[in-house]
Structure 1
């Protein structure tokens, strides 16, 4: 599901929960924090995650959300990369304060209720019409799926495609096939859900009863991609 807007806050909440579990004893929780930070900083964290957190209304308008330098700089960096024209940059400069201060349609009773009741992308689609440029970028960012499961699944798909008599194809072609296959899978999930996604509620997640995945878990089934055999590789 589109979880990009929840990753940044989720990591921060996880660290706080770990610290609380070890009753604030630094020598006990810092080892786990170091592991999380190392993986987060090397492989997962990007300006996009920070920008997504700042554009997620359920997080941004929460009184407990702290807008630190990483969030501010992440938003700036992401907007500079996405806004390729001077007109878009000027529009975002004008529109962003309206979002920060919940002005106009963003501050109505329906918009306030929708912050937690609607998925972030749906919220922007419904209430961000007065700031159309920022609305367009926010929907693009907040509609991105984000899960470590897909990373493992992509490698499984890569190995499957590699075994289908395509050994002489260039590595770039394999990456393209994995990209197409992953997007087909996402499209099928989206169609099965009728395009509806529920917002993530951190307070409703029961971490203690979760079963962690193991290497014995079966991978996601592959879609029928026989038609890819006929694609030209040259």
Structure 2
């Protein structure tokens, strides 16, 4: 998760360079990439992972000044520490400044060398150097430990295959979506019930 948005930006830069930085040549390619990214790979979570990844933030400290990044970060803080305004204030108004200004453990030479290595586990870096910013450390390690996966889609596709059969091939898309939604949530509820039964025995 921590490298996805950054690598997309890098790929876009390299595509522009491959087309000689002539906008008329790369414009159509960029339009396709932007269309695929918008609303999917540029969510507040992706942007916050990019911001909190020291591989990028140490290499380019100006990302802390980008309004888009700040909005995404605040959105994630509000979501992560939902109904805990003290923690929200701590993270957004105090702890973020420590990494931004390279204070405490963030100023160490070893902390700064992280930007030189590709694909180091950023969550481990936060566990090691984020000790003076515990609320931000907790949030960063959780976000940067997330993996990008298609397993949720795979589960839905198998659900679609089970419902949309040769006998039931005239289902409308809306009805099919509703049936898969019901089936998926029914499984979740059944699993939750099984867990409750096990806990009670």
Shared fold (TM-score, shorter chain, > 0.5): yes
Deviation at 1:44, TM superposition (A): 2.9
**Structure ID, larger Rg:** 2
Q: Would the aligned equivalents of 1:158 and 1:174 in 2 still touch at CA under 8 Å? A: yes
Q: Secondary structure at the match of 1:5?
A: coil
- Map of 1:89 onto structure 2: 88
Distance verdict in 2 for CA 1:160–1:177, change over 3 Å: farther
What's the CA shift for 1:31? 0.4
Segments of structure 1 that go 5 or more residues without pairing to the other structure are: 180-227
Tell me how large the CA RMSD over aligned residues is.
3.3
Quick one: which of 50, 53, 58 aligns to 1:53? 50
Residues 44, 158 of structure 1: alpha-carbon distance in 2 compared, 3 angstrom cutoff: farther
Residue 171 (structure 1) aligns with: 180
Summarize the alignment of residues 162-201 of structure 1 with structure 2, pairs less than 5 Å apart: 171-176=180-185
State whether residues 161 and 174 of structure 1, in contact with CA within 8 Å, keep that contact through their aligned partners in structure 2. no
Match of 2:130 among 108, 128, 132: 128
- 1:32 pairs with one of 19, 29, 32: 29
Kindly tell me: are residues 136 and 66 of structure 1, through their superposed partners in 2, closer, same or farther at Cα, counting changes over 3 Å? closer
* 2:107 matches 1:107: yes
| Equivalences, count | 177
Q: TM-score, normalised by structure 2?
A: 0.73
Whole-Å Cα distance in 2 between the matches of residues 98 and 139 of structure 1? 16
Following TM superposition, by how much is the alpha carbon of 1:161 offset from its aligned partner in structure 2, in angstroms? Answer: 6.1
Q: 1:43 to 1:94 in 2, by over 3 A?
A: closer
Establish whether residue 8 from structure 1 lines up as the match of residue 8 from structure 2: no
Which residue matches 1:19? 16
Name the residue aligned to 1:98: 98
Higher RCO (C-alpha under 8 Å, 6+ residues apart) = 1
Q: Quick one: distance in 1 between partners of 2:20 and 2:186?
A: 48
Tell me, which stretches of 5 or more residues in structure 2 are unaligned? 169-177, 196-201
CA distance in 2, matches of 1:13, 1:23: 15
